[in-house]
Amino acid sequence: MLIQAHTPVYAVIGDPVAHSLSPIMHNRALAARGLPGVYVGFHVTDLPAAIAGIRALGVRGVSVTLPHKVVVIPLLDEIDETARAIGAVNTIVNDAGVLKGTNTDGAGALKALATVTDVTGRRTAILGAGGAARAVARALSKAGAKVALFNRTAARAAALARQLDLEWAPLTNLAQWGPEILINATPVGMMPDTAALPVNADVLDPTMVVMDIVYSPLETPLLAAARLRGCTTVDGAHMLVFQGAAQFERWTGVAAPVAVMRQAVIEALSPASGPSS
């Protein structure tokens, strides 16, 4: 692509940011759709200055990653209902100088699960009570799933369940609760600690759908255990791609090339591509 003076700029801001797969995913998507644009990573430690820079330079769309997802909110002009309910922004749309915040993580998780199952009425256990768990739990609950939260620190699960009007239970009660869908929304199993399981593998039943939102490694210990027990599995790259696809569509108004984006992520995660994953 020819980069010209009017080529739109997109970015991910985070601290750290070098590990982000978003530039690979979004640049491939822009190219696949023949859209002008370049997507870069900005390592941001001074968030107010970065937001002022986004305004001043007219950066068209921004992905927001840790640790800025919550603290960015008061720096933006508008926040939609999803971002407000989750209390976190993962996407900024620069709409002719007005910075609008939204959050596509929950929609991404829902679409990832939709590749294998309809969540309506399904008993869905979410492991974790952090930012990702909050986004996923809210989206699934709104889509009609019967959601319960299970977390290492039970008090956090209880507090989040109260806010979102969901069930919660101690981790020891997971098997008894009888999940049909199990989602890991904790970092357990993520590189480099790739031997850790967020739950005892004995809770896995062949009828379950098991999704991990950790995507590095692509097959986490939980997903490997679930596959061995005959469960249907959904890897974390699906959520990553679908949350990115929702961003792409907000920024460009063009349908995202989801298969191309997934291919870009899978290639970047393959061991041959080195530490950038």
Of residues 9, 39, 38, 36, the one with CA closest to residue 22: 39
- Contacting residues for 222 by C-beta, under 8 A, at least 6 apart: 184, 188, 189, 197, 198, 199, 210, 212
In the complex, least distance from residue 189 CB atom to ligand NAP, rounded to whole angstroms: 9
Give whichever of 94 and 151 is closer to ligand NAP, judged by the CB atom. Answer: 151
Give whichever of 7 and 163 is closer to ligand NAP, judged by the CB atom. Answer: 163
Positions in the binding site for ligand NAP (CB under 6 A)? 105, 108, 128-133, 151-153, 156, 185-188, 190, 198, 213-215, 236, 239-240, 243
Helix (H, G, I), strand (E, B) or coil at 7: coil
In the complex, least distance from residue 179 CB atom to ligand NAP, rounded to whole angstroms: 17
Between CA 204 and CA 127 the distance in angstroms is: 14
In the complex, least distance from residue 259 CB atom to ligand NAP, rounded to whole angstroms: 17
In the complex, least distance from residue 41 CB atom to ligand NAP, rounded to whole angstroms: 16
Q: Which residues form the catalytic set?
A: 69
Residue nearest to ligand NAP (CB): 130
Element (H, E) at 127: strand 123-127
Give whichever of 79 and 246 is closer to ligand NAP, judged by the CB atom. Answer: 246
**How do 38-43 and 232-234 pair as beta strands?**
unpaired
Contact indicator for 265, 24 with CB cutoff of 8 Å: yes
Between CA 6 and CA 91 the distance in angstroms is: 22
Give whichever of 69 and 146 is closer to ligand NAP, judged by the CB atom. Answer: 69
